[in-house]
Amino acid sequence: MDNKPVARKKGGWIFGAAALFLLSKAKTLLALLKFSKFGSALISMLITIWAYTIVFPVQVAVGLVGMIFIHEIGHVLAAKRKGLPVSAPFFIPFVGALVMMKRHPRDALTEAYIAYGGPLVGTIGATAALAIGWFGLQGGGGAGWYVWIVIAKIGFFLNLFNLIPMQPLDGGRIASAVSRWLWIVGLIGGAFVIYFMDAWILIIFWILFAYDLYKKYVRGVKAVPMKQTIGWETPLQPLLDEGYFIPGEEHRRELPFTTYSTLDGAQKITVRWESLGLTHTADLAGQSTIDKVEAVKVAKLTDKEEPALLIVANVHGHAYENDAYYEVSPNARLGYGVAYFGLAAYLVLMLWAIGTIAAPALA
């Protein structure tokens, strides 16, 4: 019996699941969550583990989510070392996980540092899993230890996939500090992965990446649309006591706003809802020209100990790509280049090594 078609199908599915890490740029989801910072991470992690048990044994499902978690924690640690606030990881079944940055990096070197943190810490986690499985098998352990080898393989694969130099994957962001010519390699490599690994779910992201390169370097368009969702709660009872009219949940309206920058380079926006007597200040993810702010959701949270009014607004604007953003010293480019290709080589070597480990026979 020829198992190659089955293997290709599974490989394409895993590539597709890993590829949907790209959705880590969707900010709206976290803004609408009512859970605490760590509560949402834990609950989403448990739901994702449960979802993966539909496809994998429970041990592998736990290990897969664990590898994704370790990868995302690498980004969190790197961002905190650079003084950039981030959210806790939030998991989406069969998609991956996302960490929302509350402020964008100010230069390509910082962006590369944060991007590299995920694959680096993720690779350390996968290596630890491989060591546990290897020593367990060498110590005479049974087939149960081999699950660690499987988990390690998943971890190495996901981190290697993320090193493809195609934005918004980690490799595409690291390439900004090495050489933007690597994006061409990523464009070709992404097409290779899509065709030869049956990862057709990647095609829309590949098209968006190709179109973005075309706009920037063929048409010379430097303006980048920006949309960010902000949400806040305010006590409901004082508004009712003052006789304010509370609009319906689907009410939409443009809100006046002002923006300003802090000394550390962060951009903030102050939004006013004058007919409700409300003012709210929020952080913006990056430096942008804001065109409008639109309220898109108004909800009375009456099930809380202190009833509150939830307001969600979309901030629309545009930013201009600055060539100074990509100014990196030759030594830094060399350092990141060595680190990038060195990590990729190590991951390939580890995947090859795992391929030489025979699965023990079931008792």
Element housing 29 (H / E): helix 28-32
Digit-coded pLDDT (tens) for 75-127: 999 998 988 877 777 777 766 677 777 677 888 899 999 999 999 999 999 99
DSSP state of 181: T
Please check whether residue 362 lies inside any domain of the structure.
no
Residues 109 and 143 reside in one and the same domain: yes
Residues 249 and 106 reside in one and the same domain: no
Q: Which residues contact 341 (CB under 8 A, 6 or more apart)?
A: none
Looking at the predicted structure, is the pLDDT value of residue 340 above 90?
A: yes
Please check whether residue 57 lies inside any domain of the structure.
yes
Least confident window among 3-12, 47-56, 118-127, 223-232: 3-12
Please check whether residue 86 lies inside any domain of the structure.
yes
Looking at the predicted structure, is the pLDDT value of residue 20 above 50?
A: no
Q: Looking at per-residue confidence, does 136 or 44 come out higher?
A: 136
Residues 171 and 260 reside in one and the same domain: no
Please check whether residue 161 lies inside any domain of the structure.
yes
Asked if 303 and 253 count as a contact pair (C-beta separation under 8 A), the reply is no
Digit-coded pLDDT (tens) for 211-238: 888 877 776 666 677 788 888 888 988 8
Looking at the predicted structure, is the pLDDT value of residue 185 above 80?
A: yes
| Spatial distance between the Cα atoms of 248 and 240, rounded to a whole number of angstroms | 14
Looking at the predicted structure, is the pLDDT value of residue 328 above 80?
A: yes
Closest CA to 264 of 63, 62, 105: 105
Task: Provide DSSP, 71-97.
Answer: HHHHHHHHHHHTT--BPPPEEETTTEE
Residues 9 and 131 reside in one and the same domain: yes
| 281: three-class secondary structure by DSSP | strand
What angle do helix axes 203-217 and 182-196 make, rounded to 10 degrees? Answer: 160
Q: Which of 84-98, 201-215, 269-283 has the highest mean pLDDT?
A: 269-283
Residues 346 and 315 reside in one and the same domain: no
Element housing 108 (H / E): helix 108-138
Residues 105 and 227 reside in one and the same domain: no
pTM of the model: 0.68
Residues 153 and 284 reside in one and the same domain: no
Residues 230 and 215 reside in one and the same domain: no
Residues 96 and 212 reside in one and the same domain: yes
Residues 79 and 189 reside in one and the same domain: yes
Q: If pLDDT is split at 50, 70 and 90, which confidence band does 1 have? A: very low
- Domains: count for the chain: 2
Residues 194 and 244 reside in one and the same domain: no
Least confident window among 2-6, 46-50, 128-132: 2-6
| Spatial distance between the Cα atoms of 288 and 228, rounded to a whole number of angstroms | 11
- Structural domain of 230: 223-320
Beta bridge partners of 257: 271
Asked if 69 and 115 count as a contact pair (C-beta separation under 8 A), the reply is no
Element housing 258 (H / E): strand 257-261
Total Cβ atoms within 10 A of residue 240: 14
Please check whether residue 241 lies inside any domain of the structure.
yes
| Spatial distance between the Cα atoms of 8 and 162, rounded to a whole number of angstroms | 20
Please check whether residue 285 lies inside any domain of the structure.
yes
Please check whether residue 363 lies inside any domain of the structure.
no
Residues 13 and 120 reside in one and the same domain: yes
